[in-house]
Amino acid sequence: MTTVLIVDDQTLQRLGFRMLLEAQPDMTVVGEAAQGHDAVRMTAELRPDVVLMDVRMPGMNGIEATRHIAGSGGRSRVLVLTTFDLDEYAYEALRAGAAGFFLKDARPEELVVGIRAVAAGDSVISPGLTRRLIDAFTARHADLNPPRHTDRLGLTREQRHRLDGLTHREREVLSAVATGRTNSEIAAHLQLAESTVKSHVSRVLAKIDARDRVQAVIFAYDVGLAHTT
């Protein structure tokens, strides 16, 4: 049974999510919160599998709440919701440690599948949206936050160390992950068994110190292993 905490400042929105999720035989809603402070507190108390997190809320917003939850080291994973697909708040939420990003206008069945994927440790950002989000984030913030002490390729010492720790095959897998491909799609693309791809992804996440695929995508863009097409 996947447990979910719903966080949204709109009562009707919370009600709609609750009705959808409680209609699923494998999901249960363990609580609701209307703002970030309550979300952080309730996550610590209830330890849900997934926190369905709105971004824009009064008081502590979804970004700060996500940062607190992701940084606590707990089991709960955050799925961020937003109205706009290129909302800068979403970029910051991913940086804060969100496990995925979804639009509020997604079809109900897509949201349900997305929650299951996040609970299972996967990412729920679509391939096209992944490229747009990360490329736009990089373009907007590169000049504002230039890396210090970089090498000739613009990588920090830490980024270079993590990148050099990857084998050629692991770099290929990371590049494929950055395009939004699933494990089965990567397997077909690289002509590998899906179980082999899963093992490669796990090793890549460990080597680059990424919590999940979303952070792996950000790293891939930061070090130049992926580009928007």
CA atoms within a 13 Å half-sphere pointing along the CA-CB vector of 220: 28
| Contact assessment for residue 196 and residue 188, using Cβ atoms and an 8 Å cutoff | no
Q: Of 44, 88, 86, 49, nearest to 65 (Cα)?
A: 44
Residue with tokens 């490329």, as numbered in its chain: 135
pLDDT of residue 21: 97
Tokens of 129: 């949206």
DSSP 200: H
Q: How many other β-carbons are positioned within 10 Å of the β-carbon of residue 36? A: 25
> Counting Cβ atoms within 10 Å, is residue 9 exposed (0-12), middle (13-18) or buried (19+)?
middle
Instruction: List the chain pLDDT tens, one digit each, 229 residues.
Output: 999 999 999 999 999 999 999 999 999 999 999 999 999 999 999 999 999 999 888 899 899 999 999 989 899 999 988 776 555 666 677 778 888 888 787 789 888 988 998 898 777 765 555 556 656 655 655 554 555 545 555 678 888 889 999 999 999 999 988 877 778 889 999 999 999 999 999 999 999 998 777 778 878 878 888 754 4
